[in-house]
Structure formats: C-alpha cells, structure tokens
Amino acid sequence: MADIVKELSGKQTVLLVIPSKKYDVVLKQTAKKLAAKGSVAYVTLNKTFEALNTEFKKAKVNVDNIVFIDAISKTLLSKPPQTDHAYYLNSPGALTEMSLVISKFVKHEFDFIIFDSITNLMTYQKAPVVHKFVSSLARKAEGKKTKFVFLALDLPDHKSMVQQCSTYVNGTVNA
Amino acid sequence: MAKTIMVVDDTPDVRNTVKAALESGGYKVVTAVNGDDCLKKVNVAKPALILMDIMMPGTPVRDIVPKLGKFKVVYLSVVRTSEAEKEDLMKSKNIKGFIQKPFDVQDLLKKVQKLVGK
C-alpha cells in the first residue's frame, strides 16, 4: 500500500485511486497516518459521521485529530448528533456550501483535508461540475499549509473522470 | 395477476437495472425519480412494495416515508450508517428492510419474493 505521508512530501494535492475491494482498508490507513501527523478535516459523502467515527475508533485512528465534514446526516437523519467533531452540510450536492466550509478549514490551517470521494460526488453531480469543483478545491491548497488528499475509486466507468482530475493535482497515486 | 413493485431512485442506471431484474422475476414495475415523484404516482400504481433510494434530491426520504402510509418500503442505500442510525431509520412500521448498495440483483429479487411473494 502506498505511504500517503511520503507521497504528500513536497506536494500540496494528491489523488489517491483505490480499487473497490481495498477501499475500506485504504481509507482507514490514510486517515490513521494523517491523523497521527496533524489535524485532519475529513469530507464524507457516503458515510455518516457516526458510522465513520465508530469505524475509525475500531481501527485505532486518532479521531481526536479529525473534524468530519458530513454531507449525509442532515438529509438522512432527523437529529444528527451534535458534536464539535462534525460539521453538517445540507446535502452532498450543496457544492457552494461545501466549498465555503472547506475554505474555513484551510484558513484555520488544518494540516490535511481528505475528500471522500470524487467517485461519490459523481453520484450527485455531472462530470463537468465535478471537474470544476475538484479543480477549484485543488487551487485552494496553493501556497497554503493545508494539503489535500482526494480519494477516487478505480472503476471502469470513471476512468476518464480520474484522468481529468489527475491533471488538477500535484500527484496521482494508485493504492 | 403480476404484483407491482415501485422503484424509486434518482440514478437512471439503478432504476433500469432493478426494473429489468424485477420484470424477469415476473413483477410489474413502476419507476419514480425521487420521493416527490413517488408520492404523485403511488396511489395510482398501488405497489405491493416500494424499493426506495435513501438519498435523493427533493424532499428528504425521512419526510416522504410517513406520507406513504400503508405501503411497504425497503430502503436501498449507498450511504453507510451506524447500527443505531439504521434502527432509527427503520422506526416506521411500513419500513420492511434496508439493502446496502452495491447489491446482488438476484439477492434483491429473493428479498422481494420473500416480502410480497411471486
């Protein structure tokens, strides 16, 4: 498995392309390694804060160093749990809100932002919108302390999307 | 007479795949593109079961389900939740199941057969 800390050395933005079967393992390993190094904002588009927090704790990820930007719970649940460790977005399709919230974490000099994932974003938005969004997020990291890790699944249908997004980042890594 | 199943999903590929699988199992299938569309069609279609994606644009599914009254619903979910959240989502009496995506189409067919018969 690729060493994400090493891959981020000298880079601000990395696209991590993950085979479906390894997705769960790789995302936990990535979160574990980065949360051990510094503060992490974790953008989730397909798992609730509570589900992720539980899974990460089981995997011994230092969740005290993570704030989750949860785009799921507010739509799905009547009362998402109130906690300092989760910021709830109105929906996974609310890109302007998502962008503004991510900017705040960059401004507060979080060490890492994990975006999980470009593949999930494709469920809610068309490819050109996703490309534009990823490009704008990658630009936010330029000259800043915060490093971005974009996750994407290695799926046949999404090859061109991954290729396009790889042009916006400093490096692409196959997990 | 063939029983009617309503497939509610905003993703055309999912709607079409599930529709084809259910039709091959002998069911009549009606589709809807989101919860609001489902509410418009449900009283005419009178489905024996509704297979509903849990995250769709428009009115949130949690607000749609109470309006479906007696109609049986099974959630299809790409979203992963905790067990406690899943229990909360299944609180309504008409929710009969929770199927995690991606799912095996044959397993889905078996589940439908178990819930409504052939």
Q: Say if the Cβ atoms of B88 and A77 lie within 8 Å.
A: yes
Mean pLDDT of A139-160: 94
Q: Say if the Cβ atoms of A93 and B81 lie within 8 Å.
A: no
What does the alpha-carbon distance between residue B18 and residue A49 come to, in Å, rounded to a whole number? 29
- B4-113 to CATH, choices 3.40.50.1480, 3.40.50.2300, 3.30.360.10, 3.60.60.10: 3.40.50.2300
pLDDT at B16 over 80: yes
Backbone angles phi, psi at B110, to 5 degrees: -60, -40
Nearest to B57 among A72, A93, A120 (CB): A93
At B92, the pLDDT band (50, 70, 90 cuts) reads confident
Give the residue on B whose Cα is nearest the Cα of A53. Answer: B82
pLDDT at residue A160, rounded to an integer:
92
What does the alpha-carbon distance between residue B90 and residue B105 come to, in Å, rounded to a whole number? 22
Number of domains composing chain A = 1
CATH number, domain of A90, equals 3.40.50.300
Q: How far does B109 lie from chain A, in Å, by closest CA?
A: 24
| Dmax (CA) of chain B | 39
Q: Could you count the other beta carbons within 10 Å of the beta carbon of residue A85?
A: 15
Q: How far does B78 lie from chain A, in Å, by closest CA?
A: 7
The answer to whether residue A57 neighbours chain B at the CB level (below 8 Å) is no
pLDDT at residue A109, rounded to an integer:
97
Nearest to B82 among A51, A78, A120 (CB): A51
Q: So where are chain B's domains?
A: 4-113
Q: Which residues span the domain enclosing A154?
A: 4-174
Mean pLDDT of A128-136: 96
ipTM: 0.79
Bigger pLDDT: B56 vs B39 = B39
pTM, whole model, 2 decimals?
0.89
Mean pLDDT (chain A, rounded): 94
Q: Say if the Cβ atoms of A47 and B79 lie within 8 Å.
A: yes
Tokens matching residue A86: 């989760």
